[in-house]
Amino acid sequence: MTDPVAPTGTGTDNIATVDRFLFSLRGPDLDTAADLLDENLVYQNVGLPTIHGRARTLKLFKGMEGRNLGFDVKIHRSAADGVSVLNERTDVIRIGPVVLKFWVCGVFEVHDGRITLWRDYFDQFDMAKALVRGVIGAVIPGLRPRL
> Average pLDDT, stretch 43-54?
94
> What confidence category does residue 49 fall into, taking pLDDT thresholds of 50, 70 and 90?
very high
Contact 89, 22 (CB under 8 A): yes
> Average pLDDT, stretch 40-45?
96
Radius of gyration of the chain (CA): 16
Pairwise CA distance, residues 83 & 127, whole Å = 29
Tell me, what's the pLDDT at 6? 47
| Amino acid (one-letter) located at 58 | L
The one-character DSSP state at 98 is E
Contact 94, 70 (CB under 8 A): yes
> What confidence category does residue 13 fall into, taking pLDDT thresholds of 50, 70 and 90?
very high
The residue from 35, 120, 123, 126 that is catalytic is: 120
| Amino acid (one-letter) located at 131 | L
Tell me, what's the pLDDT at 141? 81
Tell me, what's the pLDDT at 68? 81
Pick from 13-27, 33-47, 74-88, 130-144: least confident: 130-144
User: Which residues make beta-bridge pairs with 42?
Assistant: 52, 117
Tell me, what's the pLDDT at 91? 94
Tell me, what's the pLDDT at 8? 59
Query: Is 123 in the active site?
Result: no
Could you state, in order of their start, the residue ranges of all structural domains in the chain? 11-139
CATH fold of the domain at 11-139: Nuclear Transport Factor 2; Chain: A, (3.10.450)
Tell me, what's the pLDDT at 7? 53
Q: Compute CA distances 77 → 38, 58, 111, whole Å.
A: 24, 25, 21
**pLDDT tens, position by position, 79-126:** 999 999 999 999 998 888 899 999 999 999 999 999 999 999 988 888
Tell me, what's the pLDDT at 143? 76
Q: Compute CA distances 21 → 30, 38, 54, 74, 131, whole Å.
A: 9, 12, 13, 13, 25
Average pLDDT of the chain, as a whole number? 89
The residue from 91, 112, 123, 126 that is catalytic is: 91
Tell me, what's the pLDDT at 5? 44
Query: Is 120 in the active site?
Result: yes
